């Protein structure tokens, strides 16, 4: 292996293993900051050592043994050797590398779960939760996080420092919240952070070619881990299903020249079948856990309707419209209503969609929101009311500052003028 290959391999191993190391160390040392430092040290040692001896057969176990050894050294040095720590040390047979690939439902799984509840703790701001989760659970570097959010590296570095400090000052415990309402709320905060990470990679049309898929991939990976350690939570499977299915279309959403491709125009043969299968399986699990579907599972079900249609014309819009209706009740919001209007227009005709959009026009929160006149214009155009459609597209164009959106709308205006005179 060349030097760069080795580095790249180690980088990949690091992303997979670092959270487990930090989780275990946090349990031992009760300080996530120190835990991260020690884990980073182990990475440096691995980079040096593996260059010489090659990458070990079980790199995860190698890293875990290394960090635990250092943690014990540290505890000894700090004379923290109370009874409990002695026990931890005794428990560990350091001459034997633990089988770290053992299932996640053991101790390692518990540590990961505690860690993610910690990085998504309500004392932290949303920005801080995202940065800390990407850093501690996904093993991303500060530079990678900064690139993914288009902010300066120092901003992220300081945000992480501040977040860790807040956790320490507020004495946030390393624990899984007790079952019940509190656990549900905390879990939903975790899911929100994961989905935020995923969306940052998925819905941004500009930005780094390398980092965007990385964010989706890392969010998906964390989601899968979470679904293994919390197998009875419907919404966790729902979110995983949603991310799997959306990911199956990542490569076809953008053309070779970087232009976005509409869902209806995408080459379905190129959708990733494995991801779709995994997504559908996760959705099924989510549906069989007893309760009615939550927002993530509903979004996944909508996404699944597209994934299951062999051609765009086969799309089951009636079902999609019903799912949007359910989603709208689960988390009422005008933007979901707009999506419902589009689905209804596909299922029952544009006149029905327009009816819903017109009701939304009175919604004060949508004042100045360019997607409202955009959708209205599209529906009017489909109804052949080109002059009215043109006015709506013009209104929408005046509301957006995004160049790409403006260009799309100008094309639609031209289309209206052409159709209107012919």
Partner 1 sequence: MRFLLIVKATEFTEAGIRYGRKYTDAVNAYKKTLARAGVLLAAEELHSSSSGIRILYPSHGGDPEITAGPFLVSQELIAGYTLIDVNSEDEATKWALQMPFPKGFGAFEIEMRKLKEETESVQDPITRAMEAELEDQTNI
**Residues of this chain that bind partner 1 (CB under 8 A):** 125-127, 130, 152, 154-155, 158-165, 192, 195-196, 198-199, 202-203, 253, 260, 262-264, 295, 299, 302, 331, 333, 335-336, 338-339, 342, 371, 374-375, 377-378, 396, 405, 408-409, 411-412
Q: How far is the CB of 339 from partner 1 (least distance, A)?
A: 5
- Closer to partner 1 at the Cβ: 61 or 357? 357
**Contact by Cβ (8 Å): 118, 172:** yes
- Closer to partner 1 at the Cβ: 66 or 286? 286
Q: How far is the CB of 74 from partner 1 (least distance, A)?
A: 20
- Contacts with 352 (C-beta within 8 Å, 6 or more apart), sequence order: 344, 345
- Contacts with 320 (C-beta within 8 Å, 6 or more apart), sequence order: 302, 305, 343, 346, 347
Q: How far is the CB of 12 from partner 1 (least distance, A)?
A: 27
- Closer to partner 1 at the Cβ: 12 or 312? 312
Distance of alpha carbon 358 from alpha carbon 348, whole angstroms: 16
Distance from the Cα of residue 119 to its chain's centroid: 15
- Closer to partner 1 at the Cβ: 165 or 273? 165
With b meaning 16 or more CB within 10 Å and e meaning fewer, what string describes 293-325?
bbbbbbbbbbbbbbbeeeeeeebebebbbbbbb
Longest dimension (CA), the chain: 87
Report CA torsion sign: 52, 53, 58, 63.
negative
CA dihedral angle for residue 291, residue 294, residue 298, residue 299, rounded to 10 degrees: -150
**Contact by Cβ (8 Å): 200, 215:** yes
- Closer to partner 1 at the Cβ: 14 or 393? 393
Tokens (6 digits) for 383: 């109804």
Strand pairing partners for 254?
260
Helices (H) and strands (E) in the chain, counts: 19, 0
As a residue count, the chain comes to 422
Closest CA to 335 of 363, 300, 303: 363
- Closer to partner 1 at the Cβ: 65 or 188? 188
Q: How far is the CB of 51 from partner 1 (least distance, A)?
A: 32
Q: How far is the CB of 238 from partner 1 (least distance, A)?
A: 12
Q: How far is the CB of 125 from partner 1 (least distance, A)?
A: 7
Residue found by looking up tokens 């518990």 in the block: 110
**Contact by Cβ (8 Å): 340, 325:** yes
Distance of alpha carbon 39 from alpha carbon 102, whole angstroms: 20
Q: How far is the CB of 179 from partner 1 (least distance, A)?
A: 25
Tokens (6 digits) for 333: 């919001």
- Closer to partner 1 at the Cβ: 69 or 221? 221
Q: How far is the CB of 31 from partner 1 (least distance, A)?
A: 15
- Closer to partner 1 at the Cβ: 50 or 324? 324
CA angle 86, 88, 90 (to 5 degrees): 70
Distance of alpha carbon 63 from alpha carbon 314, whole angstroms: 50
- Closer to partner 1 at the Cβ: 63 or 327? 327
Q: How far is the CB of 274 from partner 1 (least distance, A)?
A: 21
- Closer to partner 1 at the Cβ: 45 or 189? 189
Q: How far is the CB of 315 from partner 1 (least distance, A)?
A: 10
């Amino acid at each position: 292996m060349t030097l760069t290959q080795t580095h790249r391999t180690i980088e990949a191993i690091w992303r997979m293993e670092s959270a487990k190391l930090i989780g275990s160390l946090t349990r031992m040392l009760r300080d996530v900051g120190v835990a991260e430092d020690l884990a980073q040290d182990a990475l440096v040692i691995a980079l040096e050592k593996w260059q010489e001896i090659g990458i070990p057969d079980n790199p995860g176990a190698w890293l875990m043994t290394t960090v635990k050894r250092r943690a014990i050294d540290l505890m000894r040095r700090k004379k923290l050797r109370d009874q409990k720590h002695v026990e931890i040390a005794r428990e560990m047979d350091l001459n034997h590398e633990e089988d770290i690939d053992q299932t996640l439902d053991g101790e390692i799984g518990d540590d990961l779960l505690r860690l993610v509840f910690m990085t998504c703790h309500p004392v932290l701001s949303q920005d801080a939760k995202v940065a800390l989760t990407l850093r501690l659970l996904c093993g991303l570097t500060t530079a990678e996080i900064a690139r993914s959010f288009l902010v300066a590296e120092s901003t992220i570095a300081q945000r992480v420092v501040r977040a860790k400090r807040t956790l320490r000052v507020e004495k946030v415990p390393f624990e899984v919240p007790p079952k019940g309402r509190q656990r549900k709320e905390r879990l939903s905060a975790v899911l929100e952070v994961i989905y935020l990470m995923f969306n940052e990679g998925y819905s941004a049309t500009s930005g780094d070619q390398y980092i965007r898929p990385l964010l989706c991939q890392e969010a998906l990976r964390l989601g899968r881990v979470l679904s293994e350690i919390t197998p009875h939570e419907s919404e966790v499977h729902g979110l995983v299903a949603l991310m799997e299915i959306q990911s199956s279309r990542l490569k076809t959403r953008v053309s070779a020249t970087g232009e976005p491709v509409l869902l209806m125009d995408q080459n379905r043969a190129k959708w990733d079948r494995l991801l779709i299968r995994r997504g559908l399986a996760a959705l099924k699990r989510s549906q069989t856990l007893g309760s009615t579907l939550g927002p993530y599972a509903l979004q996944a079900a909508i996404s699944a309707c597209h994934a299951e249609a062999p051609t765009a014309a086969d799309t089951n819009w009636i079902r999609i419209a019903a799912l949007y209706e359910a989603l709208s009740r689960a988390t009422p919001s005008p933007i979901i209503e707009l999506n419902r209007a589009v689905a209804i227009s596909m299922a029952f005709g544009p006149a029905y969609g327009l009816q819903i959009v017109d009701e939304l026009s009175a919604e004060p929160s949508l004042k100045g929101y360019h997607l409202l006149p955009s959708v209205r214009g599209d529906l009017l155009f489909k109804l052949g009311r080109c002059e009215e459609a043109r006015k709506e597209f013009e209104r929408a164009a005046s509301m957006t500052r995004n160049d790409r959106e403006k260009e799309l709308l100008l094309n639609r205006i031209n289309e209206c003028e052409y159709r209107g005179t012919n």
